[in-house]
Chain A
Amino acid sequence: MSMSQDTENFEQLGRLLKLKRYEQPPPRFFNDFSDQVIARIKRGDRGEENGFIERLLSDAPWVYRIWTAFEARPGLVAAFGVAVCGLLITGAVLSEKTDIQPIALVPGTEAPADTTVEMAKAMAVDHPLLVRPAALEASSTTPIATPQLGGPLLEGLQARPVSFTFPGRN
């Protein structure tokens, strides 16, 4: 179809669309319209409660633009889907390859192989109030020997087995 035919047909279409301008609501419809709106506002009518999508479309114009673009060109939806899937796959592949290098906390020193584990071990050994793991490995039949803790207040304290006697029992 040539451009001139297109133009001519659009002109004819324009004439046909002119018909819609002659469509009119019932007589006196607009006489009461505003009164009805004001009456509903006075009654506290909030209009139909907005759905999530409607709120989103009106509050975020960029969402509306994307929405209308998708509607106008369904191919965009497929392209968008492919792009999202591609991003996910790329992210998954890259995360597999990522190797986090330990960072030395003190400049000039070498970073330990596993910084977190080393720090935990150091704290467990050096802190006076912490029980060494070996002390907890005693047999259940022997009393737990309290490790010799440092400090004048804790000196001499030792756990001893306690026996209870109940009245009425031999």
Chain B
Amino acid sequence: MIMAEPASRKASRPADRLAASPAEQPGSVEEMELVKRARRGDLAAYDVLVRRYQERIYATIYHMTSNHEDANDLAQEAFIKAFRALRSFKGGSSFYTWVYRIAVNKTINFLKQRRNKGQMSLDDLDFNAEHDPDLVALVSDKTPRREVGLTELQEKLNAAMQKLSEPHRLVVTLHDVQGLSHEEIAKIMDCNVGTVRSRLFYARQQLQAYLSDYLQ
């Protein structure tokens, strides 16, 4: 399974089982109806919304924390908080953007409290990773440290991600890992697109420096 990417990118990958139907697109009429029902206390409707976004929300938090247990707790709390706050959801943005923002704020707040105390608890790699040509190339003779395996590379990558500041890590997570557009990220982070681009550039430069041993 490949997690947490927008439908536009997912559809291009055969391994993905999360392709969304048109009715499931963020901000659709069907989704607004579900939101209205959930606002009236219909938990079945909210269950549909949770199932729709749980993987993306979990993945965002997981990539920010590099810890499965923390990501599980925070994702649950984000959905609970979103349900409690549904009355304040004006519909100015899509439910998808709104719940993302709640999850991101919750995660950043959590990370501020956890600073320097966090330990990584990484999810396992899907076995398909071994067959990904891009990743195979990274651990082949092109890589200076050829002995490094995918699992070690995963640890190094997550350690490097944790060295970034939260805003920079968030931009890399949302764009380079989850494949959101600059515009979507700007809405979620409530900043302009230029800020997203500059943060992304700076974050990539930082990561490149941290991971120089693993890049040619």
Contacts and interface: CB of A to CB of B under 8 A. Distances in A.
Interface of A: 9-10, 12-26, 29-30, 33-34, 36-38, 40-42, 45-48, 50-51, 53-54, 57-58, 61, 64-65, 68, 71-72
Nearest to A12: B215
A22 B132 contact: yes
A55 B177 CA distance: 28
A57 B177 CA distance: 25
Nearest to B41: A41
16 contacts: A13-B204, A17-B157, A19-B125, A22-B126, A22-B135, A23-B154, A26-B124, A30-B51, A33-B54, A33-B58, A37-B79, A38-B43, A47-B80, A53-B112, A54-B105, A54-B106
A46 B153 contact: no
Size category of the B interface is 35 or more
Interface in B88-141: 101-102, 105-106, 108-109, 112, 122-126, 128-129, 132, 134-135, 137-138
Contacts of B123: 23-26
Nearest to A10: B204
B39 interface: no
Interface of B: 1-5, 43, 46-47, 50-51, 54-55, 58, 62-63, 68, 71-72, 75-81, 83-84, 101-102, 105-106, 108-109, 112, 122-126, 128-129, 132, 134-135, 137-138, 150, 153-154, 157-158, 161, 165-168, 172, 176-177, 189-191, 199, 202, 204, 207-208, 211, 214-216
B208 A33 contact: no
A136 B161 CA distance: 83
A10 B177 CA distance: 13
A23 B165 CA distance: 21
B204 to A, nearest CB: 5
Nearest to A42: B43
